[in-house]
């Protein structure tokens, strides 16, 4: 696997259902290395620290292959990498084969798999269509949150190399399925 895009967003205010919402989901590709810190990507806006950022959700990765599923469903969007709010777009990240605890070396950093991404209304804001939230829940294409074990710079083109496997642990897709049951979706 390799990184095909590093993405950062700025704090953005939008109006949703007549309420001002502050979000960092509008991320766009960077043409220079980004620094993966212990709780976030340096320079990336995180406006909801309860659900994003922090030790166990420091970095969000999403698969480039998943874009091919979504593009036909939303053909009128102005597509760019980072659309799902991911910090790292990875060429072939498969939530059905990624286990909690799996560890990867990328650039100068070392990342450990921690959690699935649970979609919220801000993804609907980004897509300008709230039906994306339910559609997202009904796939395994949730993306992966990582803990940063070793901070460092990463850039587009860096290899995403697995250095530890925890195949006895649940997959990210398993975690998403459990969360759906909890939420009765």
pLDDT, average across residues 6-10: 94
Residue tagged 């460092």 (tokens): 152
pLDDT digits (tens, 9 = 90+) for 145-164: 999 999 999 999 999 999 99
Q: Check residue 17 and report its DSSP letter.
A: T
Least confident of 13-17, 29-33, 145-149, 159-163: 13-17
pLDDT digits (tens, 9 = 90+) for 65-123: 999 999 999 999 999 999 999 999 999 999 999 999 999 999 999 999 999 999 888 89
CA distances to 29, 59, 130 from 172, in Å: 25, 15, 23
**pTM across the whole model:** 0.92
β-bridge partners, 23: 12
- Determine what percent of the chain is predicted with pLDDT higher than 70: 98
Average pLDDT of the chain to the nearest whole number = 93
Report the distance separating Cα 60 and Cα 51, nearest Å: 12
Q: What is the pLDDT of residue 89?
A: 98
Q: What is the pLDDT of residue 70?
A: 96
Residue 184 in tokens: 């009765």
Please list, residue by residue across 122-160, b when 16 or more beta carbons sit within 10 angstroms of its beta carbon and e when fewer do.
Answer: bbbbbbeeeebbebbeeeebbbbbbbbbeeebbbbebeb
Q: What is the pLDDT of residue 185?
A: 60
DSSP 109-125: EEEEEEEEPPP-HHHHH
Report the distance separating Cα 76 and Cα 168, nearest Å: 41
pLDDT digits (tens, 9 = 90+) for 114-135: 999 998 888 999 998 999 999 9
Q: What is the pLDDT of residue 120?
A: 86
């Amino acid at each position: 696997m390799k990184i095909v895009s590093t993405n950062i967003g700025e704090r953005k205010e939008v109006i949703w259902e007549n309420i001002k919402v502050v979000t960092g989901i509008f991320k766009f590709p960077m043409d220079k290395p980004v620094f993966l810190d212990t709780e976030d990507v340096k320079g990336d806006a995180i406006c909801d620290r309860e659900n994003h950022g922090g030790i166990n959700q420091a970095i969000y990765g999403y698969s480039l292959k998943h874009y091919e599923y979504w593009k036909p469903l939303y053909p009128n969007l102005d597509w760019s990498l980072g659309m799902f709010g991911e910090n790292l777009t990875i060429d072939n990240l498969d939530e059905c084969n990624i286990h909690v605890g799996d560890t990867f070396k990328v650039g100068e950093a070392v990342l450990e798999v921690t959690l699935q991404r649970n979609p919220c209304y801000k993804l609907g804001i980004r897509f300008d269509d709230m039906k994306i939230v339910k559609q997202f829940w009904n796939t395994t294409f949730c993306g992966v949150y990582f803990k940063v074990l070793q901070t460092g710079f990463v850039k587009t083109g860096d290899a995403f190399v697995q250095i530890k496997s925890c195949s006895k642990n649940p997959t990210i897709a398993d975690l998403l399925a459990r969360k759906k049951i909890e939420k009765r979706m």
